Structure 1
Amino acid sequence: MLGNQVWRFLTKPNSLVSKVYKARYFLNENYLDSSAGHNPSFVWRSIWKAGDVVKAGVHWVVGSGEMINIGTTMGGDDEILKDLFNDRDQDCIRSVPLNEDMRQYRIYWSKESSGEYSVRSAYRLLQVQKALWRQEDNDSFWRKIWKIRALPKLVDGDGDSSWVKPHESIIKVSVDATTFREYSGSGMGVIVIDAGELAEALAIKEALSWIKNQGWQGVIVESDFLVAVQAIRSKAPMVSPFGRVIEACRAMLRDLNTVSLFFIKRSANVAAHELARVSYSIPDRVFDWSFVPIGAFNALKADLLS
């Protein structure tokens, strides 16, 4: 529980408690660089020791990077690219979109998708550090413990287990994403029918961006990733990279007031999943009916004929 106080030092440095401890124990530095000091109180010594596990899970959202000193001058990118990659790969790397949100840097807790510290994830990290956590032995047991809660809230239209044809005046957009562990990459698929953790959120964001660019009205967007759908509906702030994508989705949905987002089961999202699976070998493509990959085509045909 002391980890919660450490997290407050890091995220709420202007609170009264943070100012008192800073004045006493780390006046000329931030908490991450602090030491126990000479003759520390029992409370400070306990909080400082609890900081070890918090520090292990802290990551940075860089933003513009102006406030983070990495100890070297950033430069020579083009020269490095030319030395290490061929012309095609250089073009691909340069075409990667940069962070659209260049707000000031901040930290986030890397063990939760929301970016906020939790005792649950800190406990698990501590067990991993002590080599007391074996994935295969503990996952099922602790999943039951931590998930003792009410069922997730769904809205009318959520939870379909088979694909449902939209009404005549409605456009339906189904999205899915997949990861390619062997290539350390991910891909996404978006299916438009007229009348993962981060990759899945990016798939929804790309679908919303596409809808906005097309100027479509009366659109249903479906995803089989419940965590992302619920996060987008929530008003809770999220500071992690996943959370920043979620916030971008929220902003677009506020502008797209005739677009609705629903959760569906994987069994109702087979076509988008099949398209996501082939996205690594055929990136940056838009298909019409004549050239849809066979797996997605079969799934689409089954949906439309059902």
Structure 2
Amino acid sequence: MKYPHLHVVDAFVAEALSCLQAAIFAKELGFTRLIIEGDSHTVIRKLCNSAADISVIPPIVHDIKEAARDFESVTYCFVHREANNAAHTLTRKGRSLSSTSYWIEEAPPGATSAAELDKEGLNLLL
């Protein structure tokens, strides 16, 4: 899925907005379990934590947690950059598109091979 976030200049905020959009999209598709993976320790930590937060993303974290209530189970996982190539490949492809796009049954070119690299990167990290 590619969803345009206009006027976002911070990768930290972009990562949080992507998590929110993923939760909304998964809900729309009727999924009952949700796993959100990201390579931002900070965003994942804030999603796992209920402590007060003075950063710029508390409203986004709140919205993600609200969307998460509709799932039977939700897991937030940090993944190293070496195991997150598919997400970055999709992000690069999405930047070249001018409108919202969805990849449901078929991934754009390069995403499948990036996912294979993710599996290898994850195995190296274990």
TM-score by length of 1: 0.33
Aligned to 1:235, which of 41, 50, 53? 50
Aligned to 1:212, which of 3, 6, 27? 27
Distance in 2 separating the partners of 1:281 and 1:224: 22
**Alpha carbons 1:238, 1:247 under 8 Å: kept:** no
Distance 1:279 1:232, change over 3 A: same
Residue type at the aligned position of 2:84: N
Aligned to 2:100, which of 280, 284, 294? 284
Shift of 1:239: 5.6
Instruction: Write the deviation string for residues 38-72 of structure 1: whole angstroms up to 9, x where unpaired.
Output: xxxxxxxxxxxxxxxxxxxxxxxxxxxxxxxxxxx
Aligned to 2:38, which of 217, 220, 223? 223
* Corresponding pairs, count: 114
Q: Is 1:268 matched with 2:86?
A: no
Distance 1:243 1:202, change over 3 A: same
Distance in 2 separating the partners of 1:213 and 1:303: 26
Aligned to 1:299, which of 106, 114, 119? 114
Where do residues 42-121 of structure 1 align in structure 2 (5 Å cutoff)? none
Counterpart of 2:15 in structure 1 is 200
Counterpart of 1:255 in structure 2 is 70
Residue type at the aligned position of 1:209: I
Distance in 1 separating the partners of 2:8 and 2:65: 25
Shift of 1:254: 3.1
Distance in 2 separating the partners of 1:303 and 1:239: 33
Counterpart of 2:4 in structure 1 is none
Structure 1 segments, 4+ long, off by >6 Å, are: none
Structure scoring higher RCO (CA < 8 A, sep ≥ 6) equals 2
TM-score by length of 2: 0.73
**Alpha carbons 1:238, 1:244 under 8 Å: kept:** no
**Alpha carbons 2:33, 2:71 under 8 Å: kept:** no
Distance 1:248 1:185, change over 3 A: closer
Distance in 2 separating the partners of 1:280 and 1:265: 22
Residue type at the aligned position of 1:213: E
**Alpha carbons 2:23, 2:34 under 8 Å: kept:** no
Secondary structure at 1:279's aligned position in 2? helix
Secondary structure at 1:278's aligned position in 2? helix
Distance in 2 separating the partners of 1:251 and 1:238: 16
Shift of 1:279: 1.3
How many percent identity over aligned positions?
A: 27
Residue type at the aligned position of 1:300: A
Secondary structure at 2:115's aligned position in 1? helix
Which of 1 and 2 has greater Rg? 1
